[in-house]
Amino acid sequence: MNALLCHSLDGPQALSWQAHELPPPGATELRVRVDAAGVNFGDVLLTRGKYQIRPPLPLVPGMEIAGEVIEAGASVRGFARGDRVAAVMPEFGGFSEYVNVRAEHAFHGDARLPADVAACIPSVYGTAWYALDTLAGLRAGELVLVLGAAGGVGSASVQLAKSRGATVIAVVGDAAKAEFARACGADDVIDCGREELRTALRERTGTRGGVNLPIDPVGGSATETALGSLAWGGRHLVVGFASGSIPAIAANLVLLKGATLLGVNFGGYALRFPERAAAIYRTLVAMLAEDPALRPPRLERVPMREGASALARMEARAVLGKIVLINP
């Protein structure tokens, strides 16, 4: 079988589609034929040695997949050959024709959900739901600020926050991304290519007393600005640092606003509490199966063997929404 192998930490261009050996699945594992695998910013970081884990080289990126169970290990219960599943791959390896995945990290699909949509649930939808619902307890009517709103986590956050009755302000970097964020359901959009974020936020949120819930996959100066825009009792969700800059948090702002900082580490949560992550996945599968409007509004399908170019575009900030790598 083939996989997208990374032999050096030189970024996406170091990926090549090559023959790769997969051992037989262990007793608690499933062998899954990968039909689709979601592309995430974490995959880009992995190819540069900048992710929080550093698997030995050569490595295979890919942290979320969907496909069909080919074989179930001897102690696996609840899954059988032929089942349609999706899975999170906390140690990566998903950009491949086949994977072995621990059964506790897999979940059943739904006949109404194609594999390319199911492949987006483990990371971006899972993270967005864990952040907004599990950690922050988002309530209808709250004002949510989504940074990086045209990205994978960002666009899923816009959709899920709207489905919970929130008002959503999306923050993006250019006009095309602004249009995309509106298509995801954002009530208002701040295009940082045209507006200064701090001023725009003051204008937009003044009458409401500030933002209740910023969801922040970007980091850097945007984090500091979002913290400054918080309403009393706001909850700031720290998701990631796509800007490449880890901000120093002004603790006085947290104090003055009676605010809460919430660290979102969905991968760590899924590793420690797989049964709770599975409950989140069941909820999301049902939601996306029942309501097509909650599926990715613009899903770009790229052949897996050409995955290097997809990751390079993500690194260059040139992706709208989500890319999924497809095996023929």
Given the complex with ligand NAP, which of 41 and 98 has the nearer CB atom? 41
Q: Least distance in Å: CB of 224 to ligand NAP? A: 14
Given the complex with ligand NAP, which of 29 and 64 has the nearer CB atom? 64
Q: Least distance in Å: CB of 27 to ligand NAP? A: 28
User: What are phi and psi for residue 87, nearest 5 degrees?
Assistant: -155, 150
Q: Centre a 10 Å sphere on the Cβ of residue 54 and count the other Cβ atoms it contains.
A: 11
Q: Least distance in Å: CB of 26 to ligand NAP? A: 25
Q: Least distance in Å: CB of 76 to ligand NAP? A: 26
Exposed, middle or buried: residue 128 (CB in 10 Å: 0-12, 13-18, 19+)?
buried
Given the complex with ligand NAP, which of 17 and 241 has the nearer CB atom? 241
List residues bridging with 168 in a β-sheet. 144
Interface contacts to ligand NAP, rule CB under 6 A: 40-42, 123-124, 127, 148, 150-154, 172-173, 177, 217-218, 239-244, 264-267, 314, 317, 319
Q: Least distance in Å: CB of 312 to ligand NAP? A: 12
Of all residues in the shown chain, the one whose CB is closest to ligand NAP is 151
Given the complex with ligand NAP, which of 66 and 264 has the nearer CB atom? 264
> Measured between alpha carbons, how far is 177 from 174 in angstroms, rounded to an integer?
5
Q: Is the peptide bond before 58 cis (omega within 30 degrees of 0)?
A: yes
Alpha carbons within 13 angstroms on the beta-carbon side of residue 50 total 18
Which two tokens mark 259? 């605010």
Q: Least distance in Å: CB of 316 to ligand NAP? A: 8
Go through 170-196 and write b for each residue having 16 or more CB atoms within 10 A of its CB, e for each that does not.
bbbbbeebbebbbebbbbbbbbbeeee
Given the complex with ligand NAP, which of 76 and 270 has the nearer CB atom? 270
Which amino acid belongs to residue 232?
A: W
Contacts of 199 (CB under 8 A, 6+ apart): none
Given the complex with ligand NAP, which of 53 and 286 has the nearer CB atom? 53
List the Cα angle 297/151/15 in 5-degree steps: 105
Q: Least distance in Å: CB of 151 to ligand NAP? A: 2
**Tokens 């990290």, located at residue:** 105
Given the complex with ligand NAP, which of 97 and 191 has the nearer CB atom? 191
Given the complex with ligand NAP, which of 72 and 118 has the nearer CB atom? 118
Exposed, middle or buried: residue 32 (CB in 10 Å: 0-12, 13-18, 19+)?
buried
> Measured between alpha carbons, how far is 313 from 311 in angstroms, rounded to an integer?
5
